[in-house]
A = this chain, B = another copy of it.
């Protein structure tokens, strides 16, 4: 199948698929006319990458996961290690964002938000606030 079909079936943009080929993440056969030609198994791999990316894995991690995916002899522990590491990262990001949310939330709450120039958000950002 052509790249457009593979794109639709995998949820990736054609441009993205070409880019992945460019950086050597995935290869594709070529038809006689020079068009890329994708098998169902290729689409599986594309979707695998799409899901992994959307779960927060970097392209390099996808490369690793993909080789683990392809290598039927690898231990599941190898995969679990990568996924667990990622889980930690996600947790750290959530914690960080939650902190941000709290701080910014305070600022917004304390800002009267009217026509007066006095603004606790600006004060907070400039480090002139009384607490924290």
Contact = CB atoms under 8 A, between A and B. Distances in A.
Interface residues of A, number: 53
Interface string A69-83: 100111111011101
B100 A90 contact: yes
Interface of A: 44, 47-48, 51-52, 54-56, 65, 68-69, 72-77, 79-81, 83-84, 86-87, 90-91, 93-94, 97-98, 100-101, 103-105, 107-108, 111-122, 124-127
User: Would you call the interface of chain A mostly helix, strand, loop, or mixed?
Assistant: helix
Contact of A113 (B47, B80, B116, B125): B80
A120 B47 CA distance: 16
B121 A80 contact: yes
